[in-house]
Amino acid sequence: MEKRKLGQNGLEVSALGLGCMGLSFAYGQPTDKQDAIQLMRTAFEKGVNFFDTAEAYGPFTNEEVVGEALAPFRDEVVIATKFGFKAGYPAQGLDSHPENIRAVTEASLKRLKVEVIDLLYQHRVDPNVPIEEVAGTVKDLIQEGKVKYFGLSEAGPEAIRAAHSVQPVSALQSEYSMWWREPEQEILPLLEELGIGFVPFSPLGRGFLTGKIDANTTFDADDFRNKLPRFSEENRKANQNLVDLLAQLAAEKNASPAQIALAWLLHQKTWIVPIPGTTKLPRLNENIGAAALSLGAADLAEINAAVEAIEIQGARYSAQMQQMVNK
């Protein structure tokens, strides 16, 4: 798989990464540990070297299984993790005070079984801690050899500029896909200006763009999509036209809807690295296949015109969750 550069400080990763959150958190029952390990190792064997986790995924359990899975080829992979919540629990609120950043870093190093964290993100901007102070703390950790690169997640333009002025930001991780294109308005132009890479999470619309979810789909009781307005039965039905469009485009390209959605993202900028997550080996192989799918200028123009004609229904987050983004 081709490699892409994130930022201007030397971070280079596979064009597609693997979002590991869903193996332990948010989408129903955790994946069996050995199955999760097999999936991550298979991803590596097929060219993926960029793996995304966080202390909050579990909490803590995701980092542990990621560390165990990747231990045999530690020097050949890039592991990203995150700090920013009280005690690792999003429900308890934000905490990016320097002492917490340091404590989380030390704990993550142990759970991941590594001597240095490749990419350390602030999970969400904390309005109670100046972003310059956060960036300064990570800068110190980089100088101490505990972290290699600094990242932000779901940060707004003001926070990105301020943080980058203290410690160069290598990557911003935020949601971006065919059904959430807000980053195109301000974020992508800013990242291009500053030389920061972009890591879209939920590049398949939390599974919706795969075509495997419709208005009749029932999620596990503890699947957090039950709480997202965009995943109400009414909105899933209303948004089916986007999935139908993807299916039509996929048939023309002898591909799957998921592959079209991922290839579209990869063709937006050379410094975009999506991190689709999955718990199933067939889906992993399908996603990886998107990296080899070529879309020409005419293809992209056709896709963009068709997507822009569709109005997506439903907010992506609940009002409470939305308060934590784009600070």
Catalytic positions are: 57
Q: CB-side exposure of 150: number of CA atoms within 13 Å?
A: 22
Residue 285 CA to residue 267 CA, distance in Å, equals 20
Strands 11-14 and 3-6: antiparallel
> Quick one: tokens of 270?
């050379």
DSSP states along 31-44: PPHHHHHHHHHHHH
What span, in angstroms and rounded, lies between the C-alpha atoms of 196 and 6? 6
Q: How far apart are CA 187 and CA 194, in angstroms?
A: 11
Strand partners, 198: 172, 272
The answer to whether the CB of 158 falls within 8 A of the CB of 183 is no
Torsion (CA) 38, 39, 43, 44 in degrees, nearest 10 = -30
Number of C-beta neighbours around residue 35 at 10 A: 14
Angle at 56 between CA 1 and CA 108, to 5 degrees: 75
Q: Is 101 exposed, middle or buried (CB count within 10 Å of its CB: 0-12, 13-18, 19+)?
A: buried
